Amino acid sequence: MSATGPHASRNPRLSPAAVAPRHVPRTVAELPAGGNALPVGSPGKVGVLDVQFSRSAGSASSPNAARYDAGRTVLSGRFHKSPLQMIRPHYADRALPGVPIAQIASTGGGVVSGDRLRIDVAVDRGAHAIVTTQGATRLLRAEHGWASQCTRIGVGENAVCEWMPDVTIPYAGSRFVGEVDAVVGGGATLVLGEVLTAGRAGRDAPWSAEAFDSRTSISRPGGELLALDRCVFGAGTGPGASVALEGCGAVGSLFVVCPAPVDDVAEAMRGQAGTEASVRTGVSTLPAGGAWARVLGESPERVASAMRRMWSAAREIYLGVPAPELRSL
């Protein structure tokens, strides 16, 4: 379903308040707005994508269709408003042909000042979906105000959600607040990855965003916190907030929450950590269950490659099969 037509603005999901971040740092909120930029809530400034994945019970149209569809995960619900949309999922995971690989796409050239984007992904009980992006997320220079993207991920009981977007690029002068909040049900698995790169390091000073503040939280339905991670840097985020990433062109984070023994998952990820000489990797277990890794490298390609190898090694533990190659889709 697409949010178009004269009544689109009346949908509460499209109001700026509904897509605003829950936590906006004071140093970002006080950045001056105005100028020639379109104000928040203007046409094209609020993007929404709300999707649901469910396990198919099979089709009754024919015995062959029933055998083909039974047990597959399908895109059972979709609501979108430009610039966000989801491309029709591919079933390109050779090891798990019933698992869709869904790509989020944007009709815009990048995230600009005043943009308020929200993505909601629900993977129902027993379903399994891989979600990625069609390309990089480009955070563009902002002369006034700031932009945001909020992502909510719900993973039902015994479901699997593997969230592995392409790289995020905070260009020089960009101002951005990002939130990823995931809730993981009992017996469920969540893989959550992110890669940041410095942008046009040859033209601008590396990591020279005006303000970048990204917060990731993973919890149980009852509120038990499994992981909380925050990345803050930029000239406008306050004194001492810039990250020390001299010599590193990219940084990646990978979280794995699953029913499999966390020590086994972490050890599998560590086994891939030293296979790339140009990256530095740290792997550890999470106090409330799960494993995570941080990867620093000279290029986003090398960091993403290391992240994929660790994801694949962990996947061998929690699913018994390797990870698919997403960038070849």
- pLDDT tens column, 148-164: 999 999 999 999 999 99
Higher-confidence position of 309 and 274: 309
Q: Are 256 and 283 in contact (CB under 8 A)?
A: no
Give me the mean pLDDT over the 30-35 stretch.
Answer: 72
Closest CA to 253 of 310, 175, 198, 208: 310
Instruction: Grade residue 7 by pLDDT with cuts at 50, 70 and 90.
Output: very low
73: part of which helix (H) or strand (E)?
Answer: strand 73-81
Q: Of the given ranges (57-71, 104-118, 124-138), which has the lowest mean pLDDT?
A: 57-71
158: left (phi over 0), alpha (psi -120 to 50) or beta: left
Domain membership of residue 41 (yes or no) is: no
Domain membership of residue 132 (yes or no) is: yes
Domain count, the chain: 1
Q: What is the pLDDT of residue 246?
A: 63
Distance CA 117, CA 168 (A): 14
Domain that holds residue 244: 112-319
Q: What is the pLDDT of residue 198?
A: 81
Give me the mean pLDDT over the 41-67 stretch.
Answer: 71
Q: What is the pLDDT of residue 36?
A: 62
Q: Could you give the percent of the chain with pLDDT greater than 90? A: 63
Distance CA 75, CA 104 (A): 13
Q: What is the pLDDT of residue 288?
A: 85
Task: Return the beta strands (E) in 124-184 as ranges.
Answer: 128-133, 137-139, 147-155, 160-163, 168-170, 175-184
How far is Cα of residue 247 from the mean position of the Cα atoms in its chain?
25
Strand-pair partners of 48: 81, 118
Distances (CA, A) of 153 to 62, 123, 283: 34, 8, 23
Domain membership of residue 11 (yes or no) is: no
Give me the mean pLDDT over the 74-92 stretch.
Answer: 94
Domain membership of residue 104 (yes or no) is: no
Give me the mean pLDDT over the 173-197 stretch.
Answer: 96
pTM summary value: 0.89
Of the ranges 56-60, 167-171, 202-206, 325-329, the best mean pLDDT one? 167-171
Domain membership of residue 58 (yes or no) is: no
Domain membership of residue 39 (yes or no) is: no
Domain membership of residue 220 (yes or no) is: yes
Domain membership of residue 223 (yes or no) is: yes
Residue 63 has pLDDT above 50, yes or no: no
Instruction: Grade residue 41 by pLDDT with cuts at 50, 70 and 90.
Output: low
